[in-house]
């Protein structure tokens, strides 16, 4: 079967990317000047403490051997301990990764919800004032620096209107006095399974501003890509044919033209998600969002390499999986995509 062969090849390629990134992370950790043993040994370590740490961390073994043990550890999900906090990294990730994924998925969703319909309408009403407003909006959303947009949102919706929280992931009275039982780590989902609508709304309210900040850039890109794709599609012969058969304008636009834009739309989803994952670092700091981004930025400042390596690998894995799903969806949705 072509589809099976195609799928296997994509999976193999994805695995190759992950192994490549693992190697890169390892190399970078060797090249960047830092003294992991000193960091591991704690504040103001003695020479003995450092020497002991070198043995514990196996730092004197030959490089190839260290790479193999590093790679196998990563492969089995054993990310080791943070040099700095000595906490198990896998346990930290259990908490921080869902927080970031919740933000990234929600913002990707927002970006598509804003960008794709705006692109469709701009294409359908090409040259009208609606089109011009849409284009202006997309340029602004792409050009405006993230931190500035975040501050603007905080100023308007928290300070002036007071309808959305300034930062954080949950209100303090909930997170401290009556925390959610940890199930998936996605607050929205955990609130639903715990049947606590008030917590759900609180989590949603905290999610909106950081997600909007993160959605601005991909929404602008989504709008422009969708607009360009739809303009090209709307000029195709089969659209004229559909009109000549008396089909209504909305049915032609959404039932006939839009399905032809699935390719570009899927591309946009991939781009948005990738942007959200990497963009999360800055946004999480601005909005005090306890996610992977903040976790990593702290690790970078202290050169806590096991944490950096683990986070890099996990983000790579998320992105590679997303791409795999998108590629496979593409072949399922468009019957003509050549399976190469």
Partner 1 sequence: MRCATVKGASAVTLLEIQGLSVTIPSALGPVQAVRSIDLCIARGEIHGLIGESGCGKTMTGMALLGLTPAYAQVAARVIEFDGVDISNSAADLRGRRIALISQDPAAALNPVLTIGRQMDDVLRTHSSNSKAHRAATAVALLAATGLADAPQLMKRYPHQLSGGMQQRVVIAQALATGADFLIADEPTTALDVTVGAQVLALLRKLVVDRGLTVLMITHDMDVVAAVCDRATVLYAGLSVETGPASAILTHPRHPYAAALLAALPDAAPRGQRLAAIGGQIPPSTETISGCAFSPRCPAVMALCHTMSPPARGAGNHRWLCHLAQCAP
Q: List residues binding partner 1 (CB under 8 A).
A: 236-238, 240-248, 251, 255-256, 259-260, 262, 333-336
Residue 248 CA: distances (Å) to CA of 128, 241, 242, 245: 20, 12, 9, 9
Who's near 55: CB < 8 A, 6+ residues apart? none
Question: Please, what is the minimum distance in Å from the beta carbon of residue 240 to partner 1?
Answer: 7
Question: Please, what is the minimum distance in Å from the beta carbon of residue 254 to partner 1?
Answer: 11
Cα–Cα distance for residue pair 224/227, rounded to 1 Å:
5
Cα–Cα distance for residue pair 238/224, rounded to 1 Å:
23
Q: Which 3-state string (H, E, C) describes 33-90?
A: CCCHHHHHCCCCCCHHHHHHHHHHCCCCCCHHHHHHHHHHHHHCCCCCECCCCCCEHH
Q: For residue 240, which phi and psi values (nearest 5 degrees)?
A: -60, -40
Give exposure, 80-106, as e/b (b: 16+ Cβ within 10 Å).
bbbbbeeeebeebbeebbbbbbbbbbb
Task: List the structure tokens of 323.
Answer: 């791409």
Question: Between 262-286 and 146-153, two packed helices, what is the crossing angle to 10 degrees?
Answer: 70
Question: Please, what is the minimum distance in Å from the beta carbon of residue 8 to partner 1?
Answer: 25
**Closest to partner 1 by CB, 171 or 260:** 260
**Closest to partner 1 by CB, 64 or 127:** 127
**Closest to partner 1 by CB, 114 or 123:** 123
Question: Please, what is the minimum distance in Å from the beta carbon of residue 239 to partner 1?
Answer: 8
**Closest to partner 1 by CB, 298 or 327:** 327
**Closest to partner 1 by CB, 175 or 260:** 260
Question: Please, what is the minimum distance in Å from the beta carbon of residue 138 to partner 1?
Answer: 25
**Closest to partner 1 by CB, 151 or 328:** 328
Question: Please, what is the minimum distance in Å from the beta carbon of residue 326 to partner 1?
Answer: 17
């Amino acid at each position: 079967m072509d589809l099976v062969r195609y799928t296997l090849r994509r999976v193999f390629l994805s695995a190759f990317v992950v192994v490549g990134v693992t190697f890169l992370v390892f190399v970078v950790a060797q090249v960047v000047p830092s003294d992991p043993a000193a960091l591991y040994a704690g504040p103001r370590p003695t020479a003995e403490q450092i020497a002991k740490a070198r043995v514990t961390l196996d730092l004197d073994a030959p490089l190839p051997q260290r790479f193999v043990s590093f790679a196998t550890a990563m492969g089995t999900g054993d990310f080791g301990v943070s040099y700095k906090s000595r906490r198990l990294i896998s346990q930290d990730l259990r908490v921080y990764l869902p927080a970031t994924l919740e933000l990234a998925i929600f913002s990707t969703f927002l970006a598509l919800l804003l960008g794709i319909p705006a692109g469709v309408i701009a294409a359908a009403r090409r040259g009208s004032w609606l089109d011009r407003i849409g284009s202006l909006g997309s340029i602004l959303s792409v050009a405006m620096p993230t931190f500035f947009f975040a501050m603007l949102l905080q100023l308007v919706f928290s300070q002036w209107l007071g309808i959305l929280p300034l930062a954080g992931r949950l209100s303090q009275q909930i997170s401290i006095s009556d925390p959610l039982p940890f199930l998936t780590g996605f607050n929205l989902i955990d609130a639903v399974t715990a049947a606590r609508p008030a917590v759900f709304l609180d989590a949603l309210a905290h999610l909106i501003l950081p997600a909007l900040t993160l959605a601005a850039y991909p929404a602008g890109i989504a709008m422009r890509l969708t607009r360009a794709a739809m303009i090209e599609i709307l000029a195709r012969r089969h659209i004229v044919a559909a009109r000549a058969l008396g089909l209504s304008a909305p049915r032609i636009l959404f039932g006939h033209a839009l399905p032809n834009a699935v390719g570009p739309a899927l591309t946009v989803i991939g781009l948005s998600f990738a942007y959200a994952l990497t963009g999360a670092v800055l946004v999480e700091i601005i909005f005090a969002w306890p996610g992977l981004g903040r976790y990593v930025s702290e690790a970078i400042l202290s050169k806590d390499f096991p944490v950096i390596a683990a986070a890099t690998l996990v983000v790579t894995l998320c992105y590679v999986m997303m791409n795999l799903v998108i590629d496979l969806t593409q072949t399922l949705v468009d019957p003509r995509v050549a399976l190469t």
